[in-house]
Amino acid sequence: MKDLIVIGAGCAGLTAALYAARAGKSVLILDAEGIGGQITAAPAVENYPGVPVMSGMEFADRLYEQVTKLGVEMELTTVQRIEDGKDHKTVITEDGNFEAKAIIIATGAKHRHLDVPGEEKFSGHGVSYCAMCDGAFFKGRPVAVIGGGNTALTDALYLAATCSSVVIIHRREEFRADADLVARAKKLPNIQWVLNSVVEEFLGTANLSSIRIYNKVTEKRDEIPADAAFIAIGQEPSNAAFASLAVTDAEGYFVAGEDGTTKTSGIYVAGDCRAKALHQLTTAAADGANAAMSAWKRG
């Protein structure tokens, strides 16, 4: 039996493991996909204190190396549920059961879909949710980015360096993205703007070739040529398997304070799966540290 099991190997989960291990606790991390979470898709991390610039993959690799040197163990497996016992918790996975005195759920979030015709058909054939993963396949070709937040603008800037043109499709006039990102994008001649518009359909034969949009102001439809569409419209938490153990909000995020405590004794939450104003590496790290300390104080 471990002192602590951390479910999720993103920034929050790895930070929780780091703090727990430094406190002398035995720690096991469980994750189905590997280390790093969504940050591994980021071409550059520029807003983490003390790290001027670093790729998301390098950031994750360094953090993982740091925790494993402290004796933290990891298993690649899909967690199905948690059973709450009197003196311990049992994590049920597809590869067996694991026991611990406390659990930190740091399962993060996944990309939201538009749910429009053609999205599923062209997924992997022009429709993508990761510009860094797939952008290189469209060098010198026209692409589109859908969204108005930091991820969308960061994707557009990244793609503009290699693609012939980038069209940003956003449903509003104003952007949620940081002002400096918007300003940088507006300086690039190969970035175009299609505002107050929503995607109605992705079109093509074997691969994506264009996007049908609807302008909510002019009430007109148009078709934008694009060999790829990178969807960046937000995320949804990966909390369904654990919803009975903690309070969730209308969007499915765990409702918990900064200490990560839930309604179930010995179960804590951290990172992007928790409802909060800002989902960033810095807040994920803070969540992980706080949750680990809550578990440590519990004994």
Which amino acid, residue 183? A
3-state secondary structure of 284: helix
Buried residues in 80-117 as b, exposed as e (16+ CB within 10 A): eebeeeeeebbbebeeeebebbbbbbbbbbebeebeee
Annotated catalytic residue: which of 61, 84, 130, 222?
130
Phi-psi group of 94: left, alpha or beta (phi > 0 → left; psi -120 to 50 → alpha; rest → beta):
alpha
Q: Catalytic site residue 273?
A: no
Give, rounded to a whole angstrom, the gap between the first and last alpha carbons of the chain: 14
Give every CB contact of residue 235 below 8 A, 6+ residues apart in sequence.
Answer: 38, 109, 110, 111, 112, 272, 279
Annotated catalytic residue: which of 134, 155, 227, 272?
134
Q: Catalytic site residue 134?
A: yes
User: Looking at the annotation, which residues are catalytic?
Assistant: 130, 133-134
